[in-house]
Amino acid sequence: MDHMPENWGRPRNDVYGEYQSAIHNAGQGPQSRTQTPSITGTSVIAMKFDNGVMLAADNLGSYGSLARFTDQERLIKVGNETVVGISGDASDQQYIELLLERLLIEDNYPQDGHHLRAPHIYEYLSRVMYNRRSKIDPLWNAILVAGKNDDGSPFLGYVDLLGVTYSSPSIATGYGAYLAIPLMRKIVSEEADAKNVSEEQARKVIDECMKVLFYRDARSLDKYTVATVTLDGEVKMDKNVRCQNMNWRFAEGIRGYGTQKQ
Amino acid sequence: MYAEHFSEPATSHVASAPIEHQFYPYASNGGTILAIAGADYALLAGDTRHITGYSINTRFRPSIHTLENLGGPERAIVVAANGFSADGDALVRRLAQRAEWYTYNHNKPLSVSACARLVQTMLYGKRTFPYYVHTIVAGLDESGRGEVYSFDPVGSYEREQCRAGGSAASLLMPFLDNQVNKKNQYDAATGLPQVATDLPLEETLKLVKDAFSSVTERHIHVGDYLEIKIVTKEGVKVEYFPLKRD
Amino acid sequence: MSDPSSINGGAIVAMVGKDCVAIACDMRLGMQALTVSNDFPKIYQYNNTFIGLAGLATDVLTLSEVFRYKVNMYNLREERDIEPETFANLVSSTLYEKRFGPYFVGPIVAGINSKTGKPYICGFDLIGCINFAKDFVVGGTTSHQLFGMCESLWEPDLEPEDLFETISQALMNAQDRDAMSGAGGLVYIITKDKIVKRLLKTRQD
């Protein structure tokens, strides 16, 4: 007599083989892996100039419309001469940081004359992003990679959750694509234009872009980081920068989507 | 930017049910490609604009890939996969790898016809999760004649004299029928239909530039620059031609 | 394919030349993929003004009668022919009357002003928004193909015979790349004192 009630009413193991409890325990509906982003970072913007690449991202981690974290760092220095800027899901950002840390350690063979530069990191990230989208389990981010090529020229590339990649002398993710790109393209529309733009000029435009984004992007912050990758091999991280000379007078004139009556 | 991925599925659902965020693994990145085969050349052209939605991501992203081959520069194969650019890149990279292995394994050049069959198996291999691209392969055959092969996203393919693919294919294709294959044109003296003859390269180049300039005028996905790769017995020549940027 | 404007199929195109205009259409009437008729012209003449109606065939026939009635009333009231510009505004307001239950058509108007002698063409959307074009207008399920053909074949100041060749080649090659239109072609070449109507014999598939 079997005294274990959970075994009662089951096909006998010695006759029919082990009971396949996996079928019994299977959940309802199809397997679902696709996540939705929860803590998110907004735009990352970047442009080339005569001596390198400059990029900026604010320090906000949003939880829906709630400004949840106000000291998120979204520009990550990878190695000595590359900066990766990440927008989108913050937990996926942390996972990407983990991957990049591993990559840096595993590919650290300077004695072979090999240096892990921006194009290599970009290639790696784009493969990771495309593979995850092909598993229908994407990393919910849009990423900019900035640094320099093996020949010493500046590098700037974009990759997103679909694995879509492209390069341009000025790139922005999220709302930056609508609000910052037009401002940046005024001075660097073509690859050749970057040679005529100084670091100071670039910084002025980047600061202006971050201000415009703070004016109009509701999920943004007036506190941001500016990273500058120069061709002499240095990365400057200017943290806790604040939007300057803001003028909110225009806000009075905005009508139509608030609670005001007229 | 993420808004498109947050959109609800088209099917209606009960209002009280939780909204499921659906991930759509495809996008459209615009652009148009065009290939023409001649007696002693094959030509593959495409614009360099890359878009998502109404945004121009970059004005210069060359999309015609050259596969180096055994048997000299004239055996090079040019290929472009237009549509969802991440899939296009993945397909072209994988094809380049497979083509290279072929030359190692067989120690002979990969013919364009064999390359085309390879592309078919690669596209059909992802029949249940297709590469969202219109693919065109072009090069010279053993005798030096130009050949063009075009594919649908799941691998149906055909050898042709000319083919347009991508966003503005529907604008380009009838023009090609008319000017390359002489469709609906009749000989004034005999009244018989004109027969298509191989066009000289100079004329083809003029035709391609004209066609793209016209299409740029009417299609917002097309513009910035035209990249033309020409395979002749001298090898692959690349030419760039400016298009309107609006 | 339950989209009303692409059930029956059709191609319309109009072009301006030197002191002349041309308007052309295909001859197909279909029910989705099935070709029902190869004798369904879509161009109607009112006085010296022409209108091409592409879209839902029932609306094409209805509107052609509505315009016939309205132009006849105009002729009786005004005791003169209607000018293309005036007719275009009549088309526009007729379509806009049905703003929230529209006729599923994409009309194109072509003609020469009898006073000024100036060629006139224009196109409309289904609720009457006028597209004043200086070169050419296209319409119907074949519009993409027609845009590609016209943009590359058309040039300014074509003489009537050259304009006929241009519009015919544009129409025929465009409709050959559209399964929903074809089965022949109809071309009108309009000059100040002569109207030439030609039927194009084309492939029937």
In order of their start, the domains of chain C are: 4-200 (3.60.20.10)
Average the pLDDT over B73-80 and give the result: 94
B110 touches chain C (CB under 8 A): no
In angstroms, the CA A251 to CA B74 distance is: 64
C176 touches chain B (CB under 8 A): yes
Average the pLDDT over A20-36 and give the result: 71
Q: Hey, which residues does A46 pair with through a beta bridge?
A: A55, A171
For residue C174, the chain B residues in CB contact (below 8 A) are 174
C38 — pLDDT class (breaks 50, 70, 90) = very high
Closest CA relative to residue C197, chosen from C170, C169, C160: C160
Residue A128: what pLDDT? 98
A202 touches chain B (CB under 8 A): no
B83: left (phi over 0), alpha (psi -120 to 50) or beta: left
pLDDT tens digits, B38-76: 999 999 999 999 999 999 999 999 999 999 999 889 999
pLDDT tens digits, B150-207: 999 999 999 999 999 999 999 999 999 999 999 999 998 999 999 988 999 999 999 9
How far is CA C169 from each of CA B177, C162, C194, rounded to the nearest angstrom?
11, 11, 22
Percent with pLDDT over 70 in chain C: 100
A258 — pLDDT class (breaks 50, 70, 90) = low
3-class secondary-structure state, position A35: coil
Mean pLDDT for all residues in chain B:
91
* pLDDT for B139 beyond 60: yes
* pLDDT for B11 beyond 50: no
Chains A and C touch (3+ CB pairs under 8 A): no
Chain B contact partners (≥3 CB pairs within 8 A): A, C
A106 — pLDDT class (breaks 50, 70, 90) = confident
Is A228 annotated as catalytic?
no
- Counted across chains A and B, CB pairs separated by less than 8 A come out at 63
C2 touches chain B (CB under 8 A): no
Distance from CA of B131 to the nearest CA of C (A): 25
Chain A contact partners (≥3 CB pairs within 8 A): B
For residue C173, the chain B residues in CB contact (below 8 A) are 174-175, 177-178, 183-184
For residue A125, the chain B residues in CB contact (below 8 A) are none
Spell out the domains of chain B, with CATH numbers in brackets. Answer: 27-242 (3.60.20.10)
For residue B177, the chain C residues in CB contact (below 8 A) are 173, 176-177
Output the six-digit token pair for C71: 């132009």
CB contact under 8 A, B2 and A158: no
Distance from CA of A260 to the nearest CA of B (A): 27
C92 touches chain B (CB under 8 A): no
C165: left (phi over 0), alpha (psi -120 to 50) or beta: alpha
Percent with pLDDT over 90 in chain A: 73
pLDDT tens digits, A38-93: 999 999 999 999 999 999 999 999 999 999 999 999 999 999 899 999 999 999 99
For residue C176, the chain B residues in CB contact (below 8 A) are 174, 177, 183-184
| Under 8 Å between Cβ of A63 and A38 | yes
Specify the length of chain A in residues.
Answer: 262
CB contact under 8 A, B184 and C145: no
| Separate counts of helices (H) and strands (E) for chain C | 4, 12
pLDDT tens digits, B202-234: 999 999 999 999 999 999 999 999 999 999 999
Mean pLDDT for all residues in chain A:
90
Which of C151, C169, C202 is nearest residue B178 as measured by Cβ atoms? C169
Distance from CA of A136 to the nearest CA of B (A): 7
